[in-house]
Amino acid sequence: MIYQIPYIAVVALILIGLYAIIFRRNLIKMVIGITLIESGVNLFLITLAFQKDSTAPIYHGSETGLTMSLPVPHALTLTSIVIGVAVTALMLTLVIHIYKHYQTLDARKIGMEGDEE
Amino acid sequence: MSGMSRIVKTVTNITFPLVLIYGLYVIAHGHLTPGGGFQGGAVVASGLAMILVAYGSVWTMKKINEKHLSALESLGALGFIGLAFLGLIFGTWFFNNYLVGNEILFGEIGRGAANIYTAGVIPLMNFAVGLKVIAGLFAIVLVMAYATRLKEGK
Amino acid sequence: MNGELDLIAEMLKHSPALIVAIPLLGAFLTPLIGKINDKIRNAFAVFIVALTSFFVFLLANDILSNGSIHTYVFGGGPALTEGGFAVRILFEVDGMNAFMAIIASILALAGVIYSWAFMKENTGLDKYYTLILLMIAGMFGMILTGDMFNFFVFLEIASISACALIAFRTNQGKAVDAGFKYIVISAIGALLILFAIALLYSQYNALNMAVLAREIQLTFLDKIALALLIAGLAMKAGIVPMHMWLPDAYGRAPASVTILLVGATQASLYGALRMTSTLYGKNIIAVLKHVDFDLFGQSVVFDITLNGVLGFIILLLAILTIFIGVLMALKETNFKRMIAFAAIAEIGYMILAIGSAFLAVASIDTVTSSAILSQPGYMALKGGIFHILNDALDIGLLFLVAGAIYYATKETSLNKLGGLARNMKYTTIFFLIGLFAVAGMPPLNGFASKILIYESTYQVNPILSIIAILCSILLLAVFVKVFHSAFLGPKQEKFDNVKEAPKSMLIAMGIIACLIIFIGLFPEYVLNNIVTPAADALVNFGNYIHEVDSNYVISLIGGF
């Protein structure tokens, strides 16, 4: 049972993130929601690497006879974290520009002007 | 934004070199221990962000030339893709690791499995990516700090 | 003589990697070159895209004429290690990839040439050209790759660059808002795709598309992964009900960026096709549920198969997409938003054809390891793939014309335009060509693909074909109204000084218009030499697996 807890955490993070994006109007809360979903997916990727009684997959200075956890999901998670940093930075910069233009962070009040022209 | 008090500035003066050395250590040992280009670069960039917070954005932007930052970033990126293209010329495949087992550049630095030349091109690519990440993340932090001046200027 | 042949053979061998690496190198060099001079930087960007197009045509010529598949393993070495594990990233280019690469390179070339004059008055053009070259590199990487996680990385590269380009005019609040909407929906879609990739990796310990295609056995988690993959890629392709970002993003971005966005959207659609046809190709007729009950004394026995469910859902979404695209286009008054809604409707046509093709899969050939479609289904598949090419060219030309009008008059609303035909003669001709092509009139290229779609969907269900023809006529009505209000009519005083569009914009529009007329006049040539190899490669998943794993034996598909 204790090995299933990370998967429950993954589902909880993704659901909370989706709730924040769909039902909240503040732009910063939408950004936080996307960060939460991405943390959930990264946690899922790392949990896949675990094998029973395994140690870190570092070759130098390791003892023999121990299984190592799979190293490929570690690399996938790192790439995903880097992409997440870039997306978060881009979204926050756009929020700064939106605030400079409209003086409000309410998602229902922006982008409505002059749509017919 | 203006800087913080004298105590904060003194502590920053002491701890910033430690953060810098730790970040460069993580970049340089990327082929042996966990770490590498992005992780070490993020550590150094957070050290630079510490300076930005302690001394204030006005002081920091007077010391930093943004054109130099952009040039450093391009240099790091060009180093990375240049090493990949050199793999095409020297090793007959794109991204090939043509320095493994050759003693062209480094010779015998490090003992046993920590020999630099057993990893080939990977430490060089780590340096290039680390340089790009330091410059890029610091530029992002500077842009965010610039935005806080908008609120105060109004 | 021998030296020359060797050089061309070497370039052919390395071209899958060079097609992605050269735009990356150009993107990293552009800030440094931009410090020297502006004109040199523009010329450098055009040179890089032209060089990439040269390599694309070299590769596509070899693949489409021989029917061979090129693989390229990054870093050398064999594709599979001794234990049968695929640990290296590889690019695998077959007929369908070459077809999409041709489309992407035509759009990229037109976009970069067009932006020479169109963006001249904007500042920050260093970053603009860097982002354009990065987006082109991301598009080509998405199209050529044979590895699932690599597909995700290039998808994110293309969407981050596209978002920054949509919000390029930061002095207009609407453009920044459109960029924000785009990146939120795009990030959610990409994370769903990553979740599906992680699910597939956890079961089969492989990220390579060919190895996964060999191993997938349609367990419960595999079905969830298929649903998540299709949902994520449909979000990026603008299929209803996830189309909300498309009118804003297409309408408020600069025109040269919009034509590249069309390319990125088609690449996501290609990704969805590749995932369902090749990854799950072995199981495409797998029986999900066997239904057997008595209805009023008669026994009803049929099987619910995977391709039946997929085809039904895709057809439903396609009809919705066509309806919503055409109906919302009728009431729009903003020029570019109207063309964006027409683009949504055209994507609906593509999916209509592909859904019919899915419903028509009859069996799997065990000798050549490919799916066998009935004759109307095969025609539907060819029509859908042909329509990807035609739609990209038509909608691209219409967006370039809209950009030219904005450049000349700085107006975007149709209520305020009028009488422009006297001053902008060439632009009017190009708009007429685009109008007739989108509506499906002979002798332009829209007619060739739309007649294939009408004929093949008629065999599935006559009502679908009737709806498709009616909506096509409605599109023609919408665009004739636009033509009348924008170009014909009395000359307005404020447009007295409006001049013809600059030369580089005319050259870009001319390239696409010539291609439209050429495909319209010789559709048989294009259909037999370019579209049929692509459709064959999509159906034949055995070849795809065999290139990576030479021991592949089809008889493993035994019972489900």
Look at residue B115 in the predicted model and tell me its pLDDT.
64
Q: Which of B120, B131, B107, B103 is nearest to B24 (CA)?
A: B131
Cβ-based neighbour number of residue B70 at 10 Å: 19
- The residues that bridge with C365 in the sheet, in sequence order, are C370
B40 CB neighbours in chain A (<8 A) are: none
B148 CB neighbours in chain A (<8 A) are: none
Q: pLDDT tens, A79-88?
A: 999 999 999 9
What is the Cα–Cα distance from C182 to C174, expressed in whole angstroms?
Answer: 12
What is the Cα–Cα distance from C379 to C383, expressed in whole angstroms?
Answer: 6
- Work out the mean pLDDT of chain C and round it to a whole number: 87
CB contact A89 to B (< 8 Å): yes
Q: pLDDT tens, C348-373?
A: 999 999 998 888 887 777 776 777 78
Q: Are the beta carbons of C126 and C33 closer than 8 angstroms?
A: no
Q: Which amino acid is at C134?
A: L
What is the 8-class DSSP label of residue A67?
A: E
Q: What percentage of residues in chain C have a pLDDT greater than 90?
A: 39
Of C11, C28, C32, C55, which to mutate for an interface test with B (greatest number of B Cβ within 10 Å)?
C28
Give the sign of the dihedral formed by CA A96, CA A100, CA A106, CA A111: negative
Of the listed ranges C90-94, C391-395, C400-404, C413-417, the one predicted with least confidence = C413-417
CB B147 to CB A96 under 8 A? yes
B147 CB neighbours in chain A (<8 A) are: 96, 100
Kindly give the interhelix angle for C503-521 and C95-118, rounded to the nearest 10 degrees. 150
Look at residue B107 in the predicted model and tell me its pLDDT.
58
Q: pLDDT tens, C105-128?
A: 999 999 999 998 888 888 888 899
- Work out the mean pLDDT of chain B and round it to a whole number: 85
CB C14 to CB B88 under 8 A? yes
* Structural domains present in chain A: 2-53+70-102 (1.10.287.3510)
- The residues that bridge with C299 in the sheet, in sequence order, are C294
pLDDT band of residue C340 (cuts 50, 70, 90) is very high
C433, C435, C436, C439: CA torsion to nearest 10:
150
Burial class (CB within 10 angstroms; exposed 0-12, middle 13-18, buried 19+) of C65: exposed
What is the Cα–Cα distance from C495 to C491, expressed in whole angstroms?
Answer: 7
| Residue A76: C-alpha distances to residues A82, C73, C150, C198, C471 (Å) | 10, 19, 10, 9, 45
CB C180 to CB A76 under 8 A? no
pLDDT band of residue C88 (cuts 50, 70, 90) is confident
Look at residue C80 in the predicted model and tell me its pLDDT.
81
Question: In three state form, how does the secondary structure of C487-512 look?
Answer: CCCCCCHHHCCCCCCCHHHHHHHHHH
More confident call, B144 vs C141:
C141
List the single residue in A with minimal CA-CA distance to C247: A115
List the single residue in A with minimal CA-CA distance to C168: A94
3-state secondary structure of C93: strand
Q: Domain extents for chain B?
A: 6-153
Q: Which of A45, A90, A101 comes nearest C173 by C-beta? A: A101
CB contact B114 to A (< 8 Å): yes
What is the Cα–Cα distance from C164 to C185, expressed in whole angstroms?
Answer: 14
A60 CB neighbours in chain B (<8 A) are: 32-33, 113-114
Look at residue C556 in the predicted model and tell me its pLDDT.
46
Q: What percentage of residues in chain B have a pLDDT greater than 90?
A: 44
CB B92 to CB C76 under 8 A? yes
CB contact A56 to B (< 8 Å): yes
Q: Which of C18, C29, C31 comes nearest B70 by C-beta? A: C31
Rounded mean pLDDT, B131-140: 94
DSSP C289-333: EEEEEEETTEEEEEEEEHHHHHHHHHHHHHHHHHHHHHHHHHT--
Distance from the Cα of C160 to chain A's closest Cα (Å) equals 7
3-state secondary structure of B56: strand
- pLDDT at residue A116 above 50? no
Q: What percentage of residues in chain C have a pLDDT greater than 70?
A: 97
More confident call, C333 vs B109:
C333
CB B33 to CB A58 under 8 A? yes
Look at residue B114 in the predicted model and tell me its pLDDT.
60
The runs of H, that is alpha helices, within C119-219 are: 125-144, 148-166, 173-204, 209-215
CB A58 to CB B34 under 8 A? yes
What is the Cα–Cα distance from C529 to C18, expressed in whole angstroms?
Answer: 25
A27 CB neighbours in chain C (<8 A) are: 180
- pLDDT at residue C559 above 50? no
Token pair for C343: 């683009």
Max Cα–Cα distance, chain C, nearest Å: 85
- The residues that bridge with C372 in the sheet, in sequence order, are C363
Look at residue C557 in the predicted model and tell me its pLDDT.
46
Radius of gyration of chain A (CA): 20
ipTM of the complex in this document: 0.94
Q: Are the beta carbons of C397 and C512 closer than 8 angstroms?
A: yes
User: Looking at chain C from residue 29 to 58, which residues have their Cβ under 8 Å from any Cβ of chain B?
Assistant: 29, 31-32, 35
Q: Which amino acid is at C230?
A: I
CB contact B81 to A (< 8 Å): no
Rounded mean pLDDT, C223-245: 91
- What's the number of CA atoms in the CB half-sphere (13 Å) around residue C499? 5
Whether residue C241 is preceded by a cis peptide bond, meaning omega within 30 degrees of 0, is yes
List the single residue in C with minimal CA-CA distance to A32: C184
Q: pLDDT tens, C181-214?
A: 999 999 999 999 999 999 999 998 889 988 888 8
3-state secondary structure of C284: coil
CB contact B7 to A (< 8 Å): no
- pLDDT at residue C555 above 80? no
CB B85 to CB C31 under 8 A? no
CB A76 to CB C163 under 8 A? no
Q: Which of C398, C502, C513, C437 is nearest to C106 (CA)?
A: C513
Q: Which of B67, B77, B95 comes nearest C75 by C-beta? A: B95
CB B150 to CB A100 under 8 A? yes
Q: Which residues, 6+ apart, have CB-to-CB distance to A53 below 8 Å?
A: A66, A67
What does DSSP say about strands C370-373 and C361-365: parallel, antiparallel, or unpaired?
A: antiparallel
C202 CB neighbours in chain A (<8 A) are: 48
CB B97 to CB C18 under 8 A? no
- pLDDT at residue C462 above 60? yes
- pLDDT at residue B1 above 80? no
Distance from the Cα of C125 to chain B's closest Cα (Å) equals 15
- pLDDT at residue B13 above 80? yes
User: What is the residue whose two structure tokens read 């209509």?
Assistant: C352
CB contact B153 to A (< 8 Å): no
Distance from the Cα of B82 to chain A's closest Cα (Å) equals 21
Q: Which chains reach chain A with 3 or more Cβ–Cβ distances below 8 angstroms?
A: B, C
CB contact C7 to B (< 8 Å): no
- pLDDT at residue A78 above 90? yes
- The verdict on pTM exceeding 0.90 is yes
